[in-house]
Chain A
Amino acid sequence: MTPSITTRDCDRRLALMQLSDSFFPSGSFTLSHGLESLVQSGQVRSPEDVTTYLQILLHNKVGASDVVALLAAHHGSVVGDLNQVRRADQMLFAYTLVQSAREAQQKSGHALLMVARSTWPDEQLESLQADVLKQQIHGLHPIIFAVVGRAAGLDADNTVFAYLHSWLTGLAGVAIRLGAVGHIHAQQMITTLAPDIDHVVQQKSDRSLDDLWSCTPAIDLAQMKHRHLPQRLFTN
């Protein structure tokens, strides 16, 4: 009964599912990305509002900068050039306007790195950990995710899918816990957003680090106000 194949030879879809599963511990369930603030201020009231919030965040921030930086980092990781990874980290940091968003990306990036190093032992992940300890990189979540995806044997496409899937299910869970949607609505919302996710994955190939942008003023303001909320469940 001794298995004759190693983890590396296993179907990559298993790694894809493991990495995109909300059961994978990377602390992202503590992040609301401004949604808690928007719900408390009454700017988001209905499931439709949540869907709109997700679409704006997806197209104007996640797809326009996080995913682009993730892909640059993934490419750097595949060709073994960690300087490309570091540059993507630096650029994304500079293009993430809100301080609390940068801090959240950093925290969840470090959390992911901690768990991934034990799950998929990998030299690049160890180098990144050394960089983080020396504060030579910020270690933002999309960047770490890219290298973890490569370490788990995922290609660029699947790494992006895993990233977007965890992002979407994570926020659907947040919306449920905030009482903005129910568990059925959350699933309908995820289905509704499938074309949007697809669109972000499709447009990725023609973007480079020089094309990073974001434009989510209402969400940015909500994130800035979050730390001043008298009662809060989430980190941001």
Chain B
Amino acid sequence: MRPSVARLGVGGPVGSGKTALLECLVPLLTQRGIEVAVVTNDLLTQEDADRLKRKGFLPEERIVGVETGSCPHTAIREDPTMNLLAIASLEQHYPQLDLIFVESGGDNLASTFSYDLIDAYIFVLDVGAGDDIPRKNGPGFLQADLVVINKIDIAPYVGADLEVIRRDAAERRRHKPTAYTNCKTGEGLEQVLDFINEKLLFHRSNNPRTDVA
């Protein structure tokens, strides 16, 4: 039996940089020979899907927009069937796929994924939301397999103390990893790539990054 394609959820509040993160990750993964597709869940339009398509780093048919009809968490947790159908269709048309991203629409700190939909998920936050975010104990932040704290470059301008975030995140997420990124420069993305390779692509013989500890 052919192993199913690895699925990675990407969630987090509106404007935290979920689509920007994908715009960085997809070309990096593609360069490493990993075959990728993306399912987006945009609240109002197919804007995220269209934005990704305009970038042109993936064939258009590998980017599917799913209208969710309600608050985005419904489509990634309580009833992820429409996303599962989109995944099944991608798997059927592109049997060579290694990884499918499921990008949630922007939601709140309580938003989590059903593990019937994905194998692991990333929760993206940005420092502009404040350095007290880890202390709010949002289930999305606490439970995600990887938290990405994005836009670290703007911390000084929004009065956010990165050291406070680092300390509180380590304390509250215990052994789960947290990455610190600036998607504009690519800073910190290596850690996210390492996470994807270790957590989702570990069983693949064509894993090009076997050197990851």
Q: Is B84 in contact with chain A by the CB < 8 A criterion?
A: yes
Contact A30 B85 (CB under 8 A): no
- A233 vs B66: C-alpha distance when bound (angstroms): 10
Known: A29-B74, A174-B69. A232 touches B82 (CB 8 A): no
- Interface bin, chain B: 10 to 19
- Interface bin, chain A: 20 to 34
Contact A233 B79 (CB under 8 A): no
Contact A230 B79 (CB under 8 A): no
Cβ 8 A contact of A232, one of B44, B74, B75: B44
Q: Is B206 in contact with chain A by the CB < 8 A criterion?
A: no
Q: Is B43 in contact with chain A by the CB < 8 A criterion?
A: yes
Q: Is A177 in contact with chain B by the CB < 8 A criterion?
A: yes
Q: Is B80 in contact with chain A by the CB < 8 A criterion?
A: yes
Q: Is A111 in contact with chain B by the CB < 8 A criterion?
A: yes
Cβ 8 A contact of A30, one of B45, B75, B84: B75
Contact B81 A115 (CB under 8 A): yes
Contact B69 A25 (CB under 8 A): no
- A111 vs B89: C-alpha distance when bound (angstroms): 12
Q: Give every chain B residue within 8 A of A177 (Cβ-Cβ).
A: 69-70
Q: Is A107 in contact with chain B by the CB < 8 A criterion?
A: yes
Q: Is A150 in contact with chain B by the CB < 8 A criterion?
A: no
Q: Is A235 in contact with chain B by the CB < 8 A criterion?
A: yes
* CB 8 Å contact bits of B57-81 with A (1 = contact, 0 = none): 0000000001111100011001111
Top 8 A-B pairs ranked by shortest CB distance? Answer: A111-B81, A25-B79, A30-B69, A27-B81, A27-B82, A234-B69, A235-B67, A231-B44
Other than the known A31-B69, A233-B68, what 10 A-B pairs have Cβ atoms closer than 8 Å?
A: A23-B78, A26-B81, A27-B85, A29-B74, A30-B66, A30-B69, A107-B85, A111-B82, A177-B69, A234-B69
